[in-house]
């Protein structure tokens, strides 16, 4: 018995020492993630995407019990099909209770009853800003501020913010409104935002990284639908 115990210790020690510090840290983080109480995020609105950033579904995360939950789509249609799954996904949302972005990993499948089920759900990280799927776009729009309008070019966008390019110089902290006509069914967006950072580009253009300001439920649903449709359009 003593010999078996010593052998077990040797094997365990060998396994521990044979792993890199990064691997051990990752395993500890995974263990911590699985132990988190995720039920506080039940009801959160989320984006479901593949590991390479393709958004599959915009939905409400409901009936969260342990490491399982259901997804209630916020619109008709999905980039997931009944033949898919269970497939690994990244789930991003914003917790109003904690006032921070939440990122989770899991596996999604379509249940026999026709609802989307999440399995092996685990918290990956929490951040103090919105964590959203960002898509590259090539769209023209207008910015309005102080009764004036100027043309702009939209470089990329997400449910959390937008990157716009314009030859007009603005300042960090400045608040503007983006008017954008989309090549999809959702039509025109009117989005208030605030400039967070500025990058000067060639030919006298400035690129602004911006966050969207508080929107009502209707505006938020419109934005999510537009992002989802742009994924399909692309």
| Per-residue pLDDT reduced to its tens digit, 68-123 | 899 988 655 455 555 556 889 888 877 767 766 788 899 998 877 767 889 999 88
Residues 139 and 229 in one domain: yes
Q: Which of 108, 127, 146 represents a domain boundary (last residue)? A: 127
Residues 23 and 83 in one domain: no
129 vs 57 pLDDT, higher one? 57
107 vs 160 pLDDT, higher one? 107
Q: Which pLDDT score is estimated for 64?
A: 86
pLDDT greater than 60 at residue 35? no
Residues 229 and 143 in one domain: yes
Tokens 């593949």 correspond to 50
Q: Which pTM value belongs to this model?
A: 0.51
Most confident option among 1-15, 180-194, 202-216: 202-216
Residues 155 and 179 in one domain: yes
Residues 108 and 28 in one domain: no
**Residue 218: CB atoms within 10 Å:** 8
Residues 156 and 227 in one domain: yes
107 near 93, Cβ under 8 Å?
no
Q: Which of 68, 95, 127 represents a domain boundary (last residue)? A: 127
The CA–CA distances, whole Å, from 209 to 156, 199, 204, 214 equal 9, 8, 17, 17
State CA 157 to chain mean position distance. Answer: 11
Residues 91 and 146 in one domain: no
Q: How confident is the model at residue 207 (pLDDT cuts 50, 70, 90)?
A: very high
Residues 155 and 227 in one domain: yes
202 vs 107 pLDDT, higher one? 107
Rounded CA separation 130/211 (Å)? 9
Tokens 């090539």 correspond to 138
Listed range (61-75, 124-138, 144-158, 198-212) with the worst mean pLDDT: 124-138
CATH number at residue 144: 2.40.10.220
Total domains in the fold of the chain: 3
Task: Note down the domain range covering 179.
Answer: 135-233
Residues 119 and 158 in one domain: no
CATH number at residue 72: 2.30.110
Q: Which pLDDT score is estimated for 143?
A: 95
105 vs 16 pLDDT, higher one? 105
Q: Which pLDDT score is estimated for 218?
A: 75
Q: Which pLDDT score is estimated for 208?
A: 95
Q: Which pLDDT score is estimated for 184?
A: 64
Residues 185 and 214 in one domain: yes
Residues 31 and 42 in one domain: no
> Phi first, then psi: what are they for 181, rounded to 5°?
-100, 125
pLDDT greater than 50 at residue 8? no
Residues 98 and 58 in one domain: yes
Q: How confident is the model at residue 126 (pLDDT cuts 50, 70, 90)?
A: low
Q: Which pLDDT score is estimated for 22?
A: 66
């Amino acid at each position: 018995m003593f010999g078996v115990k010593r052998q077990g210790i040797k094997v365990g020690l060998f396994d521990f020492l044979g792993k890199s510090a990064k691997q051990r840290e990752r395993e500890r983080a995974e263990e911590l993630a699985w132990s988190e109480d995720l039920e506080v995020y039940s009801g959160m609105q989320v984006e479901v995407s593949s590991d390479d950033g393709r958004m599959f579904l915009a939905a409400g995360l409901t009936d969260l019990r342990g490491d399982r939950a259901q997804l209630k789509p916020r619109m008709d249609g999905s980039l997931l099909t009944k033949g898919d799954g269970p497939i690994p996904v990244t789930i991003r949302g914003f917790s109003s209770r904690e006032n921070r972005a939440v990122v989770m990993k899991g596996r999604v499948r379509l249940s026999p009853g026709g609802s989307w089920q999440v399995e092996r759900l685990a918290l990956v990280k929490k951040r103090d800003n919105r964590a959203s799927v960002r898509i590259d776009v090539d769209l023209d729009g207008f910015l309005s501020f102080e009764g004036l309008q100027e043309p702009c070019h939209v470089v990329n966008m997400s449910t959390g913010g937008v990157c716009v390019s314009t030859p007009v110089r603005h300042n960090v902290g400045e608040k503007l409104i983006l008017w954008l006509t989309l090549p999809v069914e959702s039509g025109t967006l009117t989005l208030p935002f605030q400039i967070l950072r500025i990058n000067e580009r060639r030919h006298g253009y400035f690129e602004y990284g911006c966050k969207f300001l508080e929107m009502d439920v209707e505006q938020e649903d419109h934005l999510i639908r537009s992002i989802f449709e742009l994924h399909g359009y692309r």
